[in-house]
Amino acid sequence: MKKNPILAIVVPCYNEEEVLPETVKRLVAVLNSLQRENLVSNESFICFIDDGSKDQTWKLITEYHEKNPAIKGIKLARNAGHQKALLSGLLTVRNKADLTLSIDADLQDDTDVILEFVKRYHEGNEIVYGVRKERQTDTFFKKWTALAFYKLMTVMGVDIIYNHADYRLASSKVLNYLSDYKEVNLFLRGLFPLIGFKTSCVYYDRKERFAGESKYPFFKMLSFALDGITSFSVVPLRLIVFSGIIIFIVSLILSLWALVQWFKGTVVAGWASTVIPIYFIGGIQLISLGVIGEYIGKIYKETKKRPHYVNEIELF
């Protein structure tokens, strides 16, 4: 008789003391339900990763662990960021579980569809992506900037699942391959499609945050988007080359035009014809240097080979 797979639910947390009690309650209920239906092993567990929280998040995780051995915890030595905290959890549990589901602590992702994730795994899928049906809970600004981000990533040639964040299920086989990706600039939703294997999508309605405040303000989201683009695409570099070629051609045309006007004797010296091109070309140069600087900065980080995170305490 085939043994039921061990499921690990990985939950990165940063200052989530307000929402954590409800998160634990819902995830424990889901885990118990999956066990009753013989879809996962009784050895399955939930692992919370405290990403250097400044509130009572770790204290709560410790208390829940003492009451329920199915609740595990990892405390990072400092705030490493959502992606690195999530990676810490995934790579820590990959040898302790057969399949791992990642979900944020804020309960915006629908926990009721976890059952469907596990069923898709039993159908032979190694990766199951949680995909939002629509963005009714987002503000107008957040909705259209998010849609623009996914479209921009596609134009840049990045293989990414539309409207998917980090709500996904992956087998231990997939996570073992994920551990081979040593890059410092993490963009996990771009890495998983690179790994391959049979995949499926589960569609769900995203809810409002249950409690607490968003940990992703506008500028943090902008930085995250920039990391995603520059980590997976060289299109911006090529755009610089094409821009240079176009500007060079335009300059030649203007030079020929100026030469013709000189022969006609209709040349009029003017401030605009001198200063505006200088400002225009100067702006293009600065933008180009900025983009190149982004890539050089990432190369600099990659050469250091620093660890993504440091696990200070593990409750297993």
Q: Which residues contact 58 (CB under 8 A, 6 or more apart)?
A: 50, 73, 75
At 189, is the pLDDT very low, low, confident or very high (cuts 50, 70, 90)? confident
Answer whether CATH 3.90.550.10 is correct for domain 7-216+308-315.
yes
Exposed e or buried b per residue across 59-95, where buried means at least 16 C-beta atoms within 10 angstroms of its C-beta: ebbbebbeeeebbbbbbbeeebbbbbbbbbbbbbbbe
Closest of 70, 9, 10, 7 to residue 38, by C-alpha: 7
Of 40-44, 213-217, 224-228, the least confident: 213-217
At residue 152, the pLDDT reads 73
Average pLDDT over residues 195-209: 86
Contact call for residues 108 and 208 (beta carbons, < 8 A):
yes
Query: In a 3-state reduction of DSSP, which class is residue 250?
Result: helix
Contact call for residues 64 and 25 (beta carbons, < 8 A):
no
Give dist(CA 272, CA 259) in Å, integer.
Answer: 18
Query: In a 3-state reduction of DSSP, which class is residue 76?
Result: strand
Average pLDDT over all residues of the chain: 82
At 271, is the pLDDT very low, low, confident or very high (cuts 50, 70, 90)? very low
At 214, is the pLDDT very low, low, confident or very high (cuts 50, 70, 90)? low
CB count in 10 Å sphere of residue 58: 22
User: 12-52 pLDDT, tens per residue?
Assistant: 999 999 999 999 999 999 999 999 999 999 999 999 999 99
